[in-house]
Amino acid sequence: MKPRRFALTPGEPAGIGPDLCLLLASQPQPHPLIAITSRDLLLERAAQLGVAVDLLPVTLEQLPTEPAPANSLYVWDTPLAKPVISGQLDQANAAFVLQTLTRAGHGCLDGHFAGMITAPVHKGVINDSGIAFSGHTEFLADLTHTEQVVMMLATHGLRVALVTTHLPLREIADAITVERLERVTRILHADLQHKFGIARPRILVCGLNPHAGEGGHLGREEIDIIEPTLERLRTEGMDLRGPLPADTLFTPKYLEHCDAVLAMYHDQGLPVLKYKGFGAAVNVTLGLPIIRTSVDHGTALDLAGSGKIDTGSLQVALETAYQMAENRI
């Protein structure tokens, strides 16, 4: 298999993203992996961690075709606005974070990279700097001019996609519309086929209300919106089961024969997935014209520069991106 290049963005420079990149360099990769970040930042963090990593400079005009040698890392240098102190946020570097994402995203769109893997950003400090930012997912949707994207987290034996993401609970029911549910289901089904190589995906769909509405006694969203939408999509050949009560859906009886679960909201599906695989899970953005995966944890500012971290989730994110690129139709 011909090696494909992948972009890696370390996210918040004061967090553990730079540490993850440096620790990752000791693990052989099957493809060229290019960290888009400040070379000075990596040098300073390597000294703090006491690790020896050879940072190999690259440019967009001179990208590698082979994986980096052992204990080395390709770096597309992206300058910081101000020096970084581990664990201390600085609004001055917010634009730097977005520049790394922009470089990676455009590189994927232009065919220089087969996909991008992202370490965690800190939404608060970016917004505090005066830049409106709601997250990687929305930023990359805007960058790639994508109208609708879907957040999916995955770990061994379980994939969970979301109809709604970061909304207050009192707004969720109004956000579950026929149009949104249909778009999200189509994106999930298509990307399971075209990016995960599953010819006929079987998707389990959660109800919104307790007991999936219990025949309308605990809410009518299942009767008025969810079931009619699923039934219409079934006529197109989609294998959709539900709406099912979320409290019993996440059991072996159902999960052993499904390819993904579609949850109605963030805290309906993700607590189960994170309980099952925290530290070994991956966040995938579906619906984009590019491949993007991410870790399942935050910036962990208190651990930056400490050496008390592991690369488990990042390694899963890498392996998932590699698999998606190989399966992509």
Annotated binding site for a divalent metal cation: which residue ranges?
A: 166, 211, 266
The Cβ of residue 239 has, within 10 Å, a number of other Cβ atoms equal to: 14
DSSP string over 274-311:
HHHHTTS-EEEEESSSS-EEEESS---GGGTTTS----
Amino acid at 244: L
Amino acid at 47: A
Calculated CA dihedral for residues 20, 24, 29, 34, nearest 10 degrees: 50
Residue with tokens 């992202």, as numbered in its chain: 118
Extract the annotated binding site.
136-137, 166, 211, 266, 274, 283, 292
Cα–Cα distances in angstroms (integers) from residue 242 to residues 37, 167, 249, 257, in the given order: 44, 23, 9, 14
- List the structure tokens of 81: 């606005």
CA Rg, the chain, in Å?
20
Cα–Cα distances in angstroms (integers) from residue 45 to residues 19, 52, 80, in the given order: 7, 11, 14
Extract the annotated binding site for substrate.
136-137, 274, 283, 292
DSSP H stretches of helix in the chain: 17-24, 39-49, 94-109, 123-128, 136-143, 169-175, 178-194, 221, 227-234, 246-249, 252-255, 266-277, 312-327
